[in-house]
Chain A
């Protein structure tokens, strides 16, 4: 069964450093998402991406965050200057469409630790 893959599985960084989290969505999917989950808390929507542009973003997704689809397979989340509170599990997800067939498939996540 096709899966969303994410790398790295764990990322440790110093506060103020830039990090890039990488995702390879399922190949025929058209909508891509980033979610985060702070330890013990709910999964929170960050951003959705379709047709090479952001389609929606939450209040969490501020100017420190950016997303990019640099080629036909990868989807990245960049945090420019990490803060302690950015420590969380970041999940990438993809779906075939944004309409009626909205099943989201999640990657296994990247655990980001900001020291």
Chain B
């Protein structure tokens, strides 16, 4: 089955700096890669996703890049703000498979 590794487990940045979180996956058939943001005690919320036919996707301050050859994908947050502080999870899934596998999460802290 799919195995998703996520790094780093914790990340602390100064407000205004960029943050990068990286994930690798094992199943070359995976073709859907979402990122979820989970604030303390709340539900995971989808913030951005990318499909395997695209190498990069951007939504305002958030971008995701995908390297299918290397089987890794990354989340980039620019101009970080304190409200970006949360745990971020990457995930991977095949389109014919309902078992979405999550990474272990990255606790991002943005210091004002």
CB closest chain-B residue, reference A100? B95
- Whether B43 lies near A31 (C-beta < 8 A) is no
Could you say which residues of chain A place their CB within 8 Å of the CB of B99?
45, 48, 56, 58
Could you say which residues of chain A place their CB within 8 Å of the CB of B36?
43, 106
Given known A91-B43, A104-B34, contact A99–B104 (CB-CB < 8 A): no
Whether a CB of chain A sits under 8 angstroms from the CB of B67 is no
Bound CA–CA A115/B105 (angstroms) = 27
Interface positions of A (Cβ within 8 A of B): 31, 33, 41-45, 48, 50, 55-56, 58, 91, 98-100, 102-109
Instruction: List 27 A-B pairs, Cβ < 8 Å.
Output: A33-B98, A41-B104, A42-B102, A42-B103, A42-B105, A43-B36, A43-B44, A43-B89, A43-B91, A44-B102, A45-B99, A45-B101, A45-B102, A48-B98, A50-B98, A55-B98, A56-B98, A56-B99, A91-B43, A98-B98, A102-B93, A103-B34, A104-B46, A105-B46, A106-B36, A106-B44, A108-B42
